[in-house]
Amino acid sequence: MSPTVRGALWMTVAAVFFTVMAVAVRYLSGDIPPIEMVAARAVVAITTVGPWLMRRGVAGLHTRRPVLLAVRAVFTAIAVFCWFYALGHMKLADAVTLHFTLPLFGVVLAVLILREKVGLHRWGATVVGFLGTLVVLRPGLAEVNLAALAVLVSAAFYAVASIQSKILMRTENAGIIVFYMNAFIVVFIAAPTVMQWVTPTPWQAGLLIAVGLCNTLAQLAIQKAFHAADASAVLPFDFLRLPITALAGFVLFAERPDIWTVAGAAIIFGAAYYIAWRERRVRRRETADSDARERERDA
């Protein structure tokens, strides 16, 4: 298979795993507190990555950025908590649509935190994407509930964690980042989790494990997709999360996404895709210019 086909298949696999995770969270939301689900997700991630790091001995657990790892854990914990809360209190398709604003927040934060230079094209796409958010929310025409705001908070905090991950990747490997992030999350939320603890039934315990496993497998599939092909080539297949989730919501929970959600989703995702496509063109141009300068020096 071509690299693009492989990337598309991996991104489709990720969409399926994310949908299964969202459905599991929805089933659990009536009985299990969101904070307990966040803890379960973190424990499963530690269990997955921990043995691989342990095989490398004590050196495998060494990190040079413990403070930044801890800060990233705080942002991630808040992002996951808000996401799980929203999945239990609004239509799955609406939640997924609003969560597509994550790369839009990423553009703004890249300017504020990484001091990246953003041109008119990316700013324009970002503004258009946030206008798509207004189409979904329809402030003034429809009630903007707490769950919808929780999704936007989740997307923003995920974007901050993503920026922090870029900084950490300069000195740390991916396994260290995943392990310490989840270890810190467990430590930070241990007290509130114990205070709100609800002992799950065997079925609920299985769903909690599924939440953690599906998230881990989805993240792995996304990494495989980006490794196989350019982001702009595989990102359109990330949009499959919406129809797959909408189908799951309709079949399992009798949810029907309205025309505003579909229209807003198209606008938001179109803007996010344009940003990725534009970045790809810029990178290729910079690479071509760099190669040309090297050839001139060699000549």
Q: Is the pLDDT of residue 23 over 60?
A: yes
Q: State mean pLDDT over 255-274.
A: 81
Domain total of the chain: 1
Query: Can you give the chain as a three-state secondary structure string?
Result: CCHHHHHHHHHHHHHHHHHHHHHHHHHHCCCCCHHHHHHHHHHHHHHHHHHHHHCCCHHHHCCCCHHHHHHHHHHHHHHHHHHHHHHCCCCHHHHHHHHCCHHHHHHHHHHHCCCCCCCHHHHHHHHHHHHHHHHHHCECCECCCHHHHHHHHHHHHHHHHHHHHHHHCCCCCHHHHHHHHHHHHHHHHHHHHHHCCCCCCHHHHHHHHHHHHHHHHHHHHHHHHHHHCCHHHHHHHHCCHHHHHHHHHHHHHCCCCCHHHHHHHHHHHHHHHHHHHHHHHHHHHHHHHHHHHHHHHHC
The more confidently predicted of residues 230 and 168 is 168
The predicted model scores a pTM of 0.83
Lowest mean pLDDT among 58-62, 189-193, 260-264: 58-62
What pLDDT, on a 0 to 100 scale, did the predictor assign at position 121? 74
| For the ranges 48-57, 118-127, 130-139, 257-266, the one whose mean pLDDT is highest | 257-266
Supply the pLDDT for residue 164: 85
Domain span including residue 290: 3-298
Mean pLDDT computed over every residue of the chain: 83
Give the pLDDT confidence score for residue 286 in this predicted structure: 66
Contact between 245 and 80 under an 8 Å Cβ cutoff? The reply is no
Query: What does the pLDDT read at residue 123?
Result: 78
Long-range contacts of 187-193 (CB under 8 A, 24+ apart): 188/73, 188/74, 188/77, 189/35, 189/38, 189/39, 189/42, 189/77, 190/39, 192/35, 193/33, 193/35, 193/36, 193/38, 193/39
Q: Is the pLDDT of residue 261 over 60?
A: yes
